[in-house]
């Protein structure tokens, strides 16, 4: 059987190269990279009114130079958990529909499962930190730089970025990997262009604007590069 296959196919090295070429073409054809980025951008922008109107202030205490208040936003916690779960289901549907239209299989399920799991984990940790006070110093002390960085690590922005790393690995997509590295840098540094003092923090500015903007620009860029309308 092996001898017949080699004789029919010619040089085995050429056959192997041809198989690898076809594999790369299938991976490229399976990509709908713009879809998750645009969906997640919409979810990020839609979180602004939730952050603005869902914030509640409890138990303000007077201190030497002002007062310290306990601030909670249960609505935002629920929004991100439900919103991301629904978003990942929508992304899975879009990927699988595109794959069927092209006569290919889909590789998006591990990404979706990872994304939902990270969203739930992020919510659980945030609830422990905010409602149980884990890692928070006693007022009027402020969190140090390391603590603030760890807060950004457990935030939903980081959860979105880590899930995108999984998608980049599944698709063997170097451009998406580089984009995600840049997105995570924006989330973790964080990059705010000095807007924090001027923009209303209750709306979630500037983080939601910048993170959503990065996802939106990335989605539009990949859409132009992949030109999904040509496959219709």
pLDDT digits (tens, 9 = 90+) for 30-69: 568 899 999 999 999 999 999 888 777 666 666 666 666 6
Asked whether residue 217 is assigned to any structural domain, the reply reads yes
Asked whether residue 27 is assigned to any structural domain, the reply reads no
Asked whether residue 67 is assigned to any structural domain, the reply reads no
The pLDDT assigned to 17 comes to: 52
Asked whether residue 153 is assigned to any structural domain, the reply reads yes
How far apart, in whole angstroms, are the C-alpha atoms of residue 212 and residue 217? 9
**pLDDT over threshold 50, residue 198:** no
CB atoms closer than 10 angstroms to residue 182: 14
Q: Any residues with CB less than 8 A from the CB of 119 and at least 6 apart, and which?
A: 80, 81, 84, 85, 88, 156, 159
- Against a cut of 0.75, is the pTM above it? yes
The pLDDT assigned to 149 comes to: 83
Asked whether residue 56 is assigned to any structural domain, the reply reads no
Per the model's pLDDT, the better-predicted residue between 69 and 209 turns out to be 209
CA nearest neighbour of 69 among 202, 230, 209, 158: 202
User: Which two structure tokens, joined as six digits, stand for 163?
Assistant: 């899930």
Domain of residue 91, residue span: 34-45+74-231
pLDDT in tens, 101-158: 765 556 788 999 999 999 999 988 888 776 666 656 565 566 667 777 888 888 899 9
Model confidence at 200, pLDDT cuts 50, 70, 90, reads: very low
Asked whether residue 62 is assigned to any structural domain, the reply reads no
Asked whether residue 97 is assigned to any structural domain, the reply reads yes
For the chain, what is the domain count? 1
Asked whether residue 20 is assigned to any structural domain, the reply reads no
């Amino acid at each position: 059987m092996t001898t017949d296959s080699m004789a029919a196919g010619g040089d085995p090295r050429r056959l192997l190269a041809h198989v690898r070429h076809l594999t790369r073409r299938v991976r490229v054809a399976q990509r709908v990279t713009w879809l998750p980025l645009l969906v997640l951008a919409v979810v990020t922008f839609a979180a602004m009114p939730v952050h603005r109107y869902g914030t509640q202030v409890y138990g303000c205490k007077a201190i030497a130079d002002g007062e310290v208040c306990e601030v909670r936003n249960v609505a935002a916690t629920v929004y991100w958990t439900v919103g991301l779960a629904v978003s990942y289901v929508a992304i899975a549907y879009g990927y699988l529909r595109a794959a069927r239209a092209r006569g290919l299989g889909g590789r998006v399920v591990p990404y979706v499962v990872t994304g939902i799991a990270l969203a739930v984990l992020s919510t659980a940790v945030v609830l422990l930190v905010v409602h149980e006070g884990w890692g928070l110093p006693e007022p009027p002390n402020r969190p140090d730089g390391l603590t603030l960085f760890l807060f950004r690590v457990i935030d939903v922005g980081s959860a979105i970025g880590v899930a995108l790393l999984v998608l980049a690995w599944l698709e063997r997509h170097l451009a998406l990997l580089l984009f995600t590295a840049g997105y995570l840098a924006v989330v973790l540094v964080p990059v705010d262009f000095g807007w924090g003092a001027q923009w209303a923090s209750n709306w979630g500015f500037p983080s939601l604007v910048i993170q959503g903007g990065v996802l939106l620009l990335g989605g539009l860029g990949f859409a132009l590069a992949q030109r999904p309308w040509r496959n219709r």
